[in-house]
Amino acid sequence: MKRTMVSLILIILFILAVVLGDLWFMSSYAEGMNDRLDALLEAKTLEEKKSCALDLDAFFEKRNFWAHRLVPTGRMEELETLLHKLNAYLKTDDAHEVEATVAEIRSRVNLLYSTAIYHWHHPTEFCIE
Amino acid sequence: MLVSVFRCIVLYIAVILAVRIMGKRQIGELQPSELVITIMISELAALPMQDLNMPLLWGIMPMFLMVGLELLLSSLTLKSMRFRALCYGKPVLLIYQGKINQQELLRTRVSMEDIMEAMRGNGILKVEDVWTAVLETNGTVSIIPKPEAAPPTSRDLNIQVSETGGIPMILVMNGFILQKNLLERSISEIQLNEILNGYQIELEQVFMLTIDDSGKTFLVKQEIR
């Protein structure tokens, strides 16, 4: 019985660690990406935009290992492709494409969240002005 | 490809660990919920093995969650008979005092062929020799023969039998001394050497050496080197 209880407690701790870790990581990941995307959109000059894009890439690379442990590889690869695309549009200084790509990255980042909890906490709004 | 190899190894270890935590049971003795969990664990392990897109944790976490739920369920069934009956059901008497309970046979969808199969497994050929047949909660049928059809025991024959030597313990296996077992039987290495000298054999030549409670040893020599 003692062995069973010890096994059960260890399993509960493992599951709690994974679930809470997933919630915390995805929340901070989405927040970090969204903050950097907002900073990129608010940047006035091209140099500022490029600097924000570098910051975004650095953040993405830094969190890449743990993101791959929690998110399907396909979705991360799509995100990486979009970041490359964003950098390409920044090089050509295409403001409209940059804005559209930022919006696409933002929606994919928010959809990365594995449960619907993030959507409830940060509801996305569709908006055409 | 290397990722696939790594995942297979990790998932293999995880499945072994999960099955070890669940405890020792033979497939034929598993309760229905245990059988379901065993099948689900193998399915959950196969998913991230085949689909490299899926994170490894998505397979490992549900696997251990299933094991945890099974441990919880089995612990609760130990505490409460009512809960145990709810989860595992109750044994059913199919034959009692030599009389076949046809109503229960119909209700449990067990045929006489199933009962006769169980009878043959117990060395009984005639239905009239069966005293009780019980459908257990794990789906097996237990057969208890009538006293006149059961093999006699030494007590029935009033025969005095010598005591068994108890469970033999392995002291040497494949030329290696099992120190834990030596300690268990309070045998020193010097005493072990004396035993081997008695057999006129070296340690490396021993395939298996056992000793029982009465001190009787049994030795098998190595044939393949």
Q: What is the ipTM of this complex?
A: 0.77
The domain ranges of chain B are 2-86, 92-149, 169-221
* pLDDT, averaged across chain B: 88
Chain A residues at the B interface, defined by Cβ less than 8 Å, are 1, 4-5, 7-8, 11-12, 14-15, 18-19, 68-74
Chain B residues at the A interface, defined by Cβ less than 8 Å, are 21, 52-57, 61, 64-65, 67-68, 71-72, 74-75, 78
Please, which pLDDT band fits residue A121 given cuts at 50, 70 and 90? low
Please, which pLDDT band fits residue B33 given cuts at 50, 70 and 90? confident
> Tokens 């030549």 correspond to what residue?
B205
pLDDT (tens digit, 9 = 90+) per residue, B35-57? 888 889 889 999 998 898 999 99
Mark yes or no for CB contact B64/A1 under 8 Å.
Answer: no
pLDDT (tens digit, 9 = 90+) per residue, B12-24? 999 998 888 887 6
* Rounded-to-integer distance, Cα B101 and Cα B109, Å: 12
What share of chain A has pLDDT > 70, as a percent? 86
pLDDT (tens digit, 9 = 90+) per residue, A14-35? 999 998 998 889 889 988 999 9
pLDDT at B220: 93
* Rounded-to-integer distance, Cα B119 and Cα B136, Å: 14
As a CATH number, domain B169-221 is 3.30.240.20
Q: Is the pLDDT of residue B123 over 60?
A: yes
Q: How far is A74 from chain B (nearest CA, A)?
A: 6
Let me know if domain B92-149 sits in CATH 3.90.1150.10.
no
Please, which pLDDT band fits residue A116 given cuts at 50, 70 and 90? very low
Q: Is the pLDDT of residue B87 over 90?
A: no
pLDDT (tens digit, 9 = 90+) per residue, B193-203? 999 999 999 99
- What contacts B131, CB < 8 A, 6 or more positions away? B95, B97, B98, B144, B145, B146, B147
Class of domain A28-121 as given by CATH: mainly alpha
Torsion A68-A71-A77-A80 (CA) sign: negative
- What contacts B18, CB < 8 A, 6 or more positions away? B41, B63, B64, B66, B67
Residue B142 in tokens: 């237990």
pLDDT at B170: 93
* pLDDT, averaged across chain A: 86
What share of chain B has pLDDT > 70, as a percent? 95
pLDDT at B26: 54
In terms of Cα–Cα distance, which of B42, B45, B71, B70 is closest to B60? B45
pLDDT at A114: 47
Q: Is the pLDDT of residue B217 over 60?
A: yes
pLDDT at A122: 54
Q: Are strands B99-100 and B130-135 parallel, antiparallel or unpaired?
A: unpaired
Rounded to 5 degrees, φ, ψ at B211 are: -140, 140
**Burial degree of A32 (CB within 10 A; 0-12, 13-18, 19+):** middle
Residue in chain B nearest A74 by alpha carbon: B53
pLDDT (tens digit, 9 = 90+) per residue, B127-175? 999 999 999 988 889 999 998 888 888 888 888 776 666 788 999 999 9
pLDDT at B139: 86
Residues in chain A with CB shorter than 8 Å from the CB of B78 are 1
Domains B92-149 and B169-221 share a fold: yes
How open is the CA angle A43-A46-A51, to the nearest 5 degrees?
70
pLDDT at A119: 55
Q: Is the pLDDT of residue A85 over 60?
A: yes
Q: Is the pLDDT of residue A52 over 90?
A: yes
Please, which pLDDT band fits residue A126 given cuts at 50, 70 and 90? low
Residue B25 in tokens: 């049971």
Q: Is the pLDDT of residue B65 over 70?
A: yes
The domain ranges of chain A are 28-121
